[in-house]
Each structure stands twice: as C-alpha cells, then as structure tokens.
Amino acid sequence: MTDVVSSERLTAGTKAYLYTSLVLISAIVLVPLVTTALGGFKDLADLRTNPFGLPLEWHAENYTDILFGDRYWRQMVNSLIIAALTVFLTVSVSAMAAFSFAHVRFFGSDFLLNYFLIGLMFPAATAILPLFIRIRDLGLLNTYWGVVLPQVAFGLGMSILLFRNYFRNLPEELFQAAVVDGCGYMRFFWHICLPLSRPIIATVSIISFVGSWNSYILPLIMLNSEKMYPWPLGIMVYRGEFGTAWQLVLAFITLTIMPTVIVFFVAQKHIIAGLTAGAVKS
C-alpha cells in the first residue's frame, strides 16, 4: 500500500480517530446488508419488533423454499446466459475491430474510430424507445438476443478503446518479427496479440459481465415473459407479488446478491482493478 502520509508515527489519538471513523462508515455500509440477510431468517412479527437483532427463531425455510423452487434458478440461469453471450460478443467483436485500428493502416481509420467513440457519450436510455421498436421489428422481442445485442453495441465504444490502447502498446518489434517470419494479420492477431492481451481481455470481460449481470432497463423493456427474466427483473416481480411479506423478499434479495458478493470477495483484486480501470483509462 501507499504511504502518502509519509511518516508513520501515528499517535494513539490519531489511531482512535481513524478506526472510529472507518468502523462507523463500515457500519453504515454493512448494517442494511446484514439486516437484509438476517431478516430473511425471521418471520414477519419478529421482523417488525426486532429488525436489527438476531432472529428469535431461525426460519431457514424462507431460504430453502426459494432454493428448492425453480424460480430463483431460472432467473440466475437467464442472467448467466445473457451475461455470457454479452461478454463473448463484446470481447470478440471489439477485439477484432480494435486490432484493425491498432495494427492495420487504412483510409478513414481515425474517422471510423471516432465514430465508435460517439458511443461513449450517451447511455442506452437516450435511445430506448427507438431501440425497442427496432428490436420489435426484428422479431427479437422477448429473446435473449433482444437484450444482448443492444448491450454489446452500447459497450463497444469503451471496449474498442481499451483494446486498441492495449494493442498499440504491444512492442512494434513483435509485429516486424512476425512479418519477417511470414505471419499474416490473422495469425498475428490470433497467435500473438490475443495471448499477450489476457489482462485487457479480463478487464473488458469484467466490465461487460458486471454491467450485464446488474442491468435492468434493457431487459425490462425487451422481455415480457417471466420465463425469460434475469434476476434484477425477477426480484422486482417477486417483491410485487409478495408485497409486504418482507421476510421472503429479503431472503430472495439475499440469495440473488449472494453470487455477486462471493465472487467479489474471491476475485476482489481483479474486479476492483477492472471496474476502476475501465473508468480511468477511457
């Protein structure tokens, strides 16, 4: 870690101040999350009288009922399919385009790159109605592709930029050596560029996966049967259905965010780096 505060002669007072502040903020972050998870184990009366504390009686059935039903799993699978398709398409399509911009000289290359960078400027929401009409006219409403294709398209600007900057920084000698050895563009891309680009592939994958996994507005507009719903739509429906049976809703929320939390703690280094890198480098 850094030591921006150059000398580390922290007095007891400073330390106490630091820890008090940090613990306090952590509490503000964690209390809603912990009460949500615990709330899922309570019954409604318990929740009402004692939302903070441990459950008087542990009602694991709130969780197990959801886990043994197919609703939760169907939503998870839908989210996973949509995210996987999105990541795969984003990475392959933008890596190819970025390679052209980084290593192939052609007329209009700068112009075309700027064209893609327009996509960085505005969110999908601006064009959501025409997008809906387009997807409807293409007959893709209520299919995974109806969500995936716009998602990929709106992620292209950022991904192409990230890939292109990375590709351009690969040593020029590599390319020259490859050409001397009779290697064409395709093989250079496939056998040299991509294997060397694992960090940036990881970054782009993380950004597009997290974006897709959490996305709400596109599936909300493009999907209309619950069978197709990814989990953010699913919990909204669940909450609408069970209204004030908060203990069930809380259990459902806990289970749906569980994968995110687990993956985050396991791969925190990569995820934090990926999500902030996308921001910093664009």
Partner 1 sequence: MANVSATTALRPVRIPATASARRKHPAVSGRLPVLLLFLPPALLLFSIFVILPMGEAAWYSLYKWDGYGLPTQYVGMRNFELLFKNGAFLTALKNNAMIMIISIIIQIPLAIWLAMMLAHRIAGVVLFRLIFFLPYVLADVAAGLIWRFVYDGDYGLFASIAHLLGVETPYVLADKDLAMYAVLAVIVWKYFGFHMMLFIAGLQSLEKSVLEAAEIDGASGWQRFRYITLPLLGSTVRLSVFFAVVGSLQLFDLIMPLTGGGPFNATQTMVTFLFNFGVARMQVGLGSAVGVVLFLICVTLAFTYKRVFMRHD
Contact set for partner 1, span 189-218 (CB under 8 A):
189, 199-200, 202-203, 210, 213-217
The b/e string for 229-261 (b: 16+ C-beta within 10 A; e otherwise) is bbbbbbbeebbeeeeebbbbbbbbbbbbbeeee
- Residue 160 in tokens: 């192409």
CA dist 172 and 175 (Å) reads: 5
Question: Interface with partner 1 by CB under 8 A: which range of 54-62, 64-72, 80-88, 154-162?
Answer: 154-162
Closest among 15, 24, 23, 54 to 38, alpha carbons compared:
54
Task: Kindly tell me which residue out of 56, 127, 237, 262 binds partner 1, with binding defined by CB under 8 A.
Answer: 127
50 sits near partner 1 (criterion: CB under 8 A): yes
165 sits near partner 1 (criterion: CB under 8 A): yes
- Specify whether the CB–CB gap between 274 and 207 falls below 8 A: yes
Task: Kindly tell me which residue out of 7, 11, 114, 225 binds partner 1, with binding defined by CB under 8 A.
Answer: 7
Reported as half-sphere exposure (CB side, CA atoms, 13 A), residue 224 has a value of 8
113 sits near partner 1 (criterion: CB under 8 A): no
Task: Kindly tell me which residue out of 236, 237, 262, 266 binds partner 1, with binding defined by CB under 8 A.
Answer: 236
249 sits near partner 1 (criterion: CB under 8 A): yes
181 sits near partner 1 (criterion: CB under 8 A): no
DSSP-assigned letters across all residues of 159-177? HHHHHHHHHHTS-HHHHHH
Task: Kindly tell me which residue out of 54, 120, 237, 262 binds partner 1, with binding defined by CB under 8 A.
Answer: 120
Question: Interface with partner 1 by CB under 8 A: which range of 59-67, 70-78, 80-88, 112-120?
Answer: 112-120
- Specify whether the CB–CB gap between 274 and 203 falls below 8 A: yes
Task: Kindly tell me which residue out of 24, 25, 237, 262 binds partner 1, with binding defined by CB under 8 A.
Answer: 25
Question: Interface with partner 1 by CB under 8 A: which range of 56-64, 66-74, 80-88, 121-129?
Answer: 121-129
Task: Kindly tell me which residue out of 5, 70, 111, 173 binds partner 1, with binding defined by CB under 8 A.
Answer: 5
Closest among 282, 138, 153 to 218, alpha carbons compared:
153
111 sits near partner 1 (criterion: CB under 8 A): no
Interface with partner 1 (CB under 8 A), residue total 123
26 sits near partner 1 (criterion: CB under 8 A): yes
φ, ψ (nearest 5 deg) of residue 38: -70, -40
Closest among 154, 62, 78 to 116, alpha carbons compared:
154
